[in-house]
């Protein structure tokens, strides 16, 4: 039923009288739910969200005599623990696509090159330090390293010659001429100079902006050359 009434004829409680109700035909419940960023629906947030997800499914079944079941398509940045997460959120079984490859470090879409590593993941677990202080030190020390190599590119080349790695400098095909080598290293540093800090709330973002202004840039400026302040930009 739905209420067809002008606001002027509502009762004192702001509701419709029974005479104002009109019979309407029901519509089908949602047939498809698309969930992006599934990896964010974990822990406290996931527990809170699961109440609404299962409520929607219960209403669908209740109003369709248990004949209507919404399909859910979810995209996630990490597939680890997907079965347990989907069961906790939706009380449903999971079909993962694309499926894991039978070969290690290889799938239908990509493979891991044995020597040409383009990304390394490093983790830091602060102990006896606040999370904010730990992030501040990581950004500051990273900036110092890049700025030192900017001021003396030859030190970066010397450091690379000491690295024991399957991917050798010969494979990098760096020029032997010092001037050309310095230009190439300078271009390489361009790819590493920009730092990205991801934050889950506006308050946390504002805190990081203050840390950049009052701590990181103050420390870099006070130390003088070859260090210089960073230019922070907010992206949403």
Does residue 230 form part of some domain? no
Does residue 167 form part of some domain? yes
Does residue 193 form part of some domain? yes
Tens digits of residue pLDDT in 75-90:
998 878 889 999 999 9
Tens digits of residue pLDDT in 90-142:
999 999 888 878 888 888 888 888 777 777 888 888 888 888 899 999 999 99
Does residue 102 form part of some domain? no
Whether residue 136 is found in the same domain as residue 56? no
Whether residue 144 is found in the same domain as residue 85? no
Does residue 194 form part of some domain? yes
pLDDT at residue 137, as a whole number = 93
Report strand pairing: 2-3 vs 21-22.
antiparallel
Whether residue 8 is found in the same domain as residue 78? yes
pLDDT at residue 19, as a whole number = 72
User: Of 70, 90, 110, which marks where a domain is finished?
Assistant: 90
Does residue 236 form part of some domain? no
Tens digits of residue pLDDT in 14-65:
677 777 677 777 788 888 999 999 999 988 899 999 999 999 999 988 888 8
Does residue 31 form part of some domain? yes
Tens digits of residue pLDDT in 143-178:
999 999 999 988 888 887 777 666 666 776 778 787
User: Of 61, 90, 119, which marks where a domain is finished?
Assistant: 90
- Domains contained in the chain, number: 2
Whether residue 23 is found in the same domain as residue 85? yes
Compute the mean pLDDT over every residue in the chain, rounded to the nearest whole number.
85
pLDDT at residue 185, as a whole number = 87
Tens digits of residue pLDDT in 109-118:
888 887 777 7
Confidence of residue 12 (pLDDT cuts 50, 70, 90): low
pLDDT at residue 169, as a whole number = 67
Tens digits of residue pLDDT in 191-233:
889 999 988 888 888 999 999 999 999 999 999 999 999 999 8
Whether residue 145 is found in the same domain as residue 196? yes
Does residue 62 form part of some domain? yes
Q: What is the DSSP string of the chain?
A: -EE---GGG--TTS---GGGEE-----PPPSEEEE--GGGS-HHHHHHHHHHHHHHHHHHHHHTTT----EEEE--S--TTHHHHHHHHHS-----SSPPPSSTTB-SS-B--SS-----------SSS-HHHHHHHHHHHHHHHHHHHHH-HHHHHHHHHT---SS-HHHHT--SSHHHHHHHHHHHHHHHH------SSHHHHHHHHHHIIIIIHHHHHHH-TT----------
Higher pLDDT pick, 168 / 236: 236
pLDDT at residue 142, as a whole number = 95
> For residue 94, what are the contacts with CB-CB under 8 A and spacing of at least 6?
82, 83, 86, 87
Whether residue 78 is found in the same domain as residue 153? no
Whether residue 204 is found in the same domain as residue 143? yes
Q: Which domain holds residue 215?
A: 131-223
User: Of 37, 67, 90, which marks where a domain is finished?
Assistant: 90
Whether residue 139 is found in the same domain as residue 217? yes
Tens digits of residue pLDDT in 217-228:
999 999 999 999
Whether residue 138 is found in the same domain as residue 86? no
């Amino acid at each position: 039923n739905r209420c067809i009434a002008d606001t002027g004829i509502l009762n004192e409680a702001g509701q419709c009288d029974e005479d104002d109700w009109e019979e309407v035909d029901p519509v089908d419940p949602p047939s498809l739910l698309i969930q992006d960023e599934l990896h964010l629906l974990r822990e406290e947030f996931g527990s809170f969200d699961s109440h609404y997800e299962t409520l929607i499914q219960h209403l669908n079944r209740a109003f369709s005599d248990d004949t209507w079941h919404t399909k859910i398509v979810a995209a996630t940045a990490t597939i680890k623990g997907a079965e347990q997460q989907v069961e906790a959120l939706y009380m449903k079984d999971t079909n993962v696509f694309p499926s894991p490859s039978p070969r290690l470090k290889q799938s239908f879409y990509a493979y891991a090159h044995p020597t040409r590593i383009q990304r390394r993941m490093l983790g830091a677990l602060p102990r006896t330090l606040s999370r904010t202080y730990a992030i501040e030190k990581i950004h500051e020390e990273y900036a110092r390293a890049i700025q030192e190599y900017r001021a003396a590119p030859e030190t970066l080349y010397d450091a690379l010659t000491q690295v024991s790695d399957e991917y050798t400098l010969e494979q990098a095909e760096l020029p032997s001429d010092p001037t050309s080598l310095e230009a190439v290293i300078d271009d390489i540093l361009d790819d590493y100079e920009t730092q990205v800090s991801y934050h889950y709330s506006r308050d946390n973002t504002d805190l990081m902006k203050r840390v950049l202004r009052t701590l990181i840039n103050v420390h870099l400026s006070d130390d003088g050359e070859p260090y210089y302040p960073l230019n922070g930009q907010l992206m949403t």
